[in-house]
Structure 1
Amino acid sequence: MKILAVCGMGFGSSMMLKMTVEQVLKELNQVADVETADFSTAASLPADLIVTNEEFAKQLDDGSKPVIAIENIADSQEVKEKLIVYVG
């Protein structure tokens, strides 16, 4: 599974989100390739799942792949609750 952590520029908050997603995946004993991306290129990159903030989620959700909207990118419990639906 490939997961994209997306923010405006692709290296600030997306890196924090990537680390949170990786922490949650480890807790769930799941393996995935988690990469960061900027908003403008995220839709064109191959991925099974996009994780981003609420504003970008609305714009990236075109029905081609699941998009998870996260309110607090450092909240591992929120990420876990939303991610578990897709990774088990």
Structure 2
Amino acid sequence: MKFLAVCGFGVGSSMVLKMSIEKVLRELGVDAEVENTDLNSARGADCDVIFTSAELQEELKGTCNVPVYPVKKYMDLAEVKDVVNKYLNEK
């Protein structure tokens, strides 16, 4: 399974989100690869799911073949866990 954390330029906030997702996955015992990238690269990326901001979710919707989930606070592990669980329960 491959998760993608996306921000506008693929460096700052997506790296923070990536690290939060990795912590949550370890806690849940889920084995998955997590990468961070920029908005344009995300459109053609080979992944199972994308996590990003609500604003970028709107831009990615319809341009990707995978589900896109918004996260408001990238460092809030409880929120990230809720969003990751939502994806895992819906897949």
Once the two structures are superposed, residues 19-55 of structure 1 have per-residue CA deviations (whole angstroms, 9 ceiling, x without a partner) of 0000000110001110011011111111100000110
Over 2 Å off, 4+ runs: 85-88
Q: Residue 46 of structure 1 aligns to a residue in which SS?
A: coil
Amino acid paired to 1:16: V
Q: CA deviation at 1:77?
A: 0.5
Identity fraction in percent: 42
Equivalent residues in 2 for 1:68-87, closer than 5 Å: 68-87=69-88
Q: Give the CA deviation at 1:59.
A: 1.1
Q: Which residue of 2 is the match for residue 67 of structure 1?
A: 68
Unaligned 5+ segments in structure 1 are none
TM-score after normalising by structure 2? 0.91
Number of residues of Structure 1 aligned to a counterpart in Structure 2 = 88
Q: Secondary structure at the match of 1:3?
A: strand
Mapping of residues 28-47 of structure 1, within 5 Å:
28-47=28-47
Instruction: Provide the rounded CA distance (Å) in 2 between the counterparts of 1:40 and 1:86.
Output: 22
State the Cα RMSD in Å. Answer: 1.1
Unaligned runs of 5+ in 2: none
Indicate the structure with greater helix content. Answer: 2
Q: 1:30 touches 1:87 (CA, 8 Å); kept in 2? A: no
